[in-house]
């Protein structure tokens, strides 16, 4: 093996040196996370900008819904009122229980 003037011997030497360094410095995201707070992990810190941008998009939509359409809370949605008046009667009605509620199952 002789790639661009590096003999196999030199290559292995380099590899060895590399390996020694590697045993001290792991790549950025590698290894188990000891941090208890995701947002302070290396991955978490990289994600902050993206998370904040999308969150603020969501709160912007809250403002639009309130400012332009006068609906801050769910019961203020006239279509919700219509849904209950025409169909589901009221929250926790028998019909609501059968279509909008569920149960869970232990998986052990």
Tokens of residue 98, six digits: 């059968």
Work out whether 104 is an interface residue with another protein (CB under 8 A). Answer: yes
Work out whether 92 is an interface residue with another protein (CB under 8 A). Answer: yes
* Residues in 33-52 that interact with another protein by CB under 8 A: 33, 35-39, 41, 43-44, 46-52
Shortest distance in whole angstroms from residue 32 CB to another protein: 6
* Residues in 70-89 that interact with another protein by CB under 8 A: 70-88
Work out whether 69 is an interface residue with another protein (CB under 8 A). Answer: yes
Q: Taking a C-beta distance cutoff of 8 angstroms, is the pair 75, 82 a contact?
A: no
């Amino acid at each position: 093996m002789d790639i661009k003037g590096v003999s196999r011997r030199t290559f292995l030497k380099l590899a060895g040196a590399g390996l020694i360094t590697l045993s001290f410095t792991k790549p950025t995201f590698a290894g188990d996370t000891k941090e208890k707070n995701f947002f302070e992990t290396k991955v978490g810190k990289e994600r902050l900008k993206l998370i904040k941008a999308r969150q603020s998009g969501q709160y912007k939509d809250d403002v639009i819904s309130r400012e332009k359409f006068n609906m801050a809370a769910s019961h203020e949605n006239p279509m919700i009122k219509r849904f209950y008046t025409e169909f589901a009667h009221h929250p926790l009605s028998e019909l609501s229980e059968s279509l909008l509620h569920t149960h869970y199952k232990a998986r052990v």
